[in-house]
Amino acid sequence: MGGRDGREYPAPVVIIVYQRGKLSLAGWYLTVAVFWLMAATLSLAFVVCVVAVKPWDLAKVAFLAAIGLLTYCVARVALAYRHRVRNFRTSFLALDETGVRFRLTGTPEIQVAWNEITCVKHEKRLVSASALMSYRLDTYTLLTPRGSFPFSAFDIPRPAQAATEIARRAGVEIRSI
């Protein structure tokens, strides 16, 4: 590629990185902060009630036990969301001229060359959030001789776009299941 000065320069390397930015994580940080604020408020209410209650009876003990249980549950939710936000912050998928480099939830950083990718698979998985709630999640999987590497919207933003670009660069098709 020629420059203005007549010298030849190498073609620019196009690297595409799929990672959540700080602004897109702001809502998650706000959610964590709200849950911690609720846990702190309930803890304060518990302490005030314990100190203020003079004649103890079964109804007051049950009320304090309910506040204590609610405080525990809210604090556990705050801890779980904090862990999820940490995973969001560290997960990424990068495409460059050599291949795909990624660190997804619960895995170390991995580099896969373009010629190693044998297939990109797409499936809609049923994810159970609790005993009462489940939903469908689009999951894409890179199939290689080293193993399969699934990713979804839980790991990176725009997984469909990333899978399409991976399939294009690797010269394979996206196989829907």
Asked whether residue 106 is domain-assigned, the answer is yes
Can you give the pLDDT at residue 95? 92
The domain in which residue 139 lies consists of: 91-176
pLDDT digits (tens, 9 = 90+) for 156-176: 889 999 999 999 999 998 888
Q: Which helix (DSSP H) or strand (DSSP E) does residue 161 occupy?
A: helix 159-170
Reduced to 3 states, what is the DSSP secondary structure of residue 44?
helix
The tally of domains found in the chain comes to: 2
Q: What is the pLDDT of residues 54-108, one digit of tens each?
A: 888 898 889 999 999 999 999 999 998 888 888 888 889 999 988 999 998 878 8
Q: Let me know whether 82 and 34 are in one domain.
A: yes
Task: Read off the CATH number of the domain in which 110 is found.
Answer: 2.30.29.30
What would the two tokens of residue 16 be? 């595409």
Q: What is the pLDDT of residue 104?
A: 87
Q: Assess whether pLDDT exceeds 90 at residue 24.
A: no
Would you say residue 50 lies in a domain? yes
* 144 shares its domain with 168: yes
